[in-house]
Structures are given as structure tokens and as C-alpha cells.
Chain A
Amino acid sequence: MIKARVTVTLKNGVLDPQGKAIEGALGALGFDGIGQVRQGKVFDLQIETGDKAKAEADLKAMCEKLLANTVIENYSISFA
């Protein structure tokens, strides 16, 4: 079994109102010097295969088809 993590983040230049709100809230808690906060998503997947290359290809397809909206988001794949 392969354990993988997919991280989806907003592309540069895409407004992230949630990140902005979190940034403001952190500032209000007294955390100074925060340049920017961008919110993203993390998916942990367990894939029943021993073939890492196939798993990676499948994960890429999953990102393209569903996990990320490539109009506004980037994704990256890592293995545990």
C-alpha cells in the first residue's frame, strides 16, 4: 500500500479572502510580522498498489479531474 499526500493551493494572483481573514485574525491575536496567509487543502490517500509510478500517474489524473480546479489551483503530490 502506498500512502500519498496531495496538497492543493491557490495559484498566485488568485484572491484568497479566507486567507486574508485568517491573516487578520492572527494579527488580532498578537502575531506580528505575518506577510501573507494563503489557505489550501490537504488530501491523504491510501492506494492499494505496490507500483509507485502507477500510483503517481493515477494521483495526477485525480488532481486534474477532481481534487484541484486547475483554473484557480495548483497541486503537488508527495509520498510518505
Chain B
Amino acid sequence: MRIASNIGLIAWNCALAASETASNCMSFKRRRQGLNRTMKSAVVQLPGLNRDRDMIAALTKISGKAPVTVWQTETELPDVDLIVIPGGFSYGDYLRCGAIAARMPVMQAIKAKAEQGVKVLGVCNGFQILVEAGLLPGALMRNASLKFVCREVKLEVVNADTDFTRAYAKGQIIRSPVAHHDGNYFADSETLKSIEGNGQVVFRYAEGTNPNGSMGDIAGVMNKAGNVLGMMPHPENLIEAAHGGSDGRGIFASALEVIAA
């Protein structure tokens, strides 16, 4: 993992004021208990996923509570507020990235939870699994360069009025590492138009840093209801000073409501 040397710390919370009006248009009634309750999370584990430990560390550090781990064969999920599918190479990327993982029993359980309004975050391979499972629109194809990319990119927060991005301001540029071979977002023109119109495009690669040829520089997409987000970049790898920055922290802080909403 290469972390850029410039320590351009953009405080993730500088945007709080701007986004605290977080309206109810994109969020369910999930902000019920407010700040006093520790939000619970779960991390899904499948053979070939390898970013689960990074994700567990990030969630533990940010929420103060270790996530529950859930194996792919589970058909019932614990009662949690956030389910995270981490990155990696589930099933060796055989057939298509995320294709086989998306058909495992745990995904049916995740679908059911998502329909109830539980937040679901898929990062990298997790994003690929979510699109393969039909929980998110579009598809992720081989990078236009045909090369695996492992570097830092800039992301524009396109929609800061979501349960995952409340800690940022609209238009804010944040740093994030990426590491993938198949992150080239594709959707047919009708779908593209609809997700752009609905505010479902949450992150875009900014400042010419699109690493994979994604349409519209799309880096992160959510479902129409606003409780399922998939993104290729790895925010869990930029959450503290030891990482050289904490730009990614806001996503978890928002989703786990450890900031004033």
C-alpha cells in the first residue's frame, strides 16, 4: 500500500456545519436513537476477501466497538446498523469480479436487511459484489488501461446529503487510496441519467485522477433509497495520522453516526 507523502490533511469534520442540515430526503428514519447509542456494525467475510482486517480496524477505531464478523454461509444477520462488505478478491475473481460471492447465502440476508433500511457499504470488491447482486445499478468492468492500479486518487463528494457522507461538504475534495483491476464503472445511458438525476452518484474521481476509465468519473454509487453505498476507493486505509491522513474517516463517522448528525 502506497500512501502519498504529502500530508495534506483535510479535516473530515470541517464540513459538519455545512452538512448538518442533512435532510430526510435520502435517509430513512434511521437516526432514531441519536448519539448516545453505540452503533453496531458487521463485516462480511468470504474466501478471497483480504481487506476485512483493515475494515475491522477502521470500524473499531472509529465507533469504539469491534464489528461482528459474518461468514458467507450465514442466512441470518445480527441486529446491526451497518453491514460492510470489504475489498479483496472473493473467489479469485473467477467468472466476473464479485459474481460468485454475490450468489452466496449471506447476500440474500444482506438484501433482506437492506430492504429494511439497514445501511450497507461495499468497498472495492464489496462494491463489485453489490452490483453483481443487483443491490446497486451498473457494472464494474476491467480498467480501461487493463492494468491493476494501486495509488492515491482525489475524490469529489458529489452528494454530501447521505447517511455515508454527512461529515463532508458538497464538492469537497478528499484523498483516497485505490487498488483494483476492475473498477471501470459502466451503466447504460438510461441508468446513468437516472442515477445522476437522483443524486445516487456519491463520489467522483476528481482533478483528472480517474484511474480506471469509469463513465462520468464515477467512484461511488448508492441505491435509490440511499442506504446502500458502493465505492471502489478504500477509505478504511486513510483514517488516522499513521496512514498519512484521515480523509476516509468521515464515511464511517457518518454511517456510524459518531458525529453530530
A residues with CB within 8 A of B: 13-15, 17-18, 21, 65-67, 69, 71-72
Contacts and interface: CB of A to CB of B under 8 A. Distances in A.
B138 A17 contact: no
Given A15-B213, A67-B95, 13 more contacts: A13-B188, A17-B141, A17-B142, A17-B143, A17-B145, A18-B146, A21-B146, A66-B99, A66-B100, A69-B96, A69-B99, A69-B139, A72-B139
Contacts of A14: 141, 186
A60 to B, nearest CB: 17
A15 B141 contact: yes
Contacts, number: 38
A18 B132 contact: no
B103 to A, nearest CB: 6
A72 B186 contact: yes
A53 B188 CA distance: 33
Given A72-B139, A72-B141, A17 B213 contact: yes
B184 interface: yes
A17 B142 CA distance: 7
Nearest to B142: A17
B144 interface: yes
B146 A66 contact: no
B139 A71 contact: yes
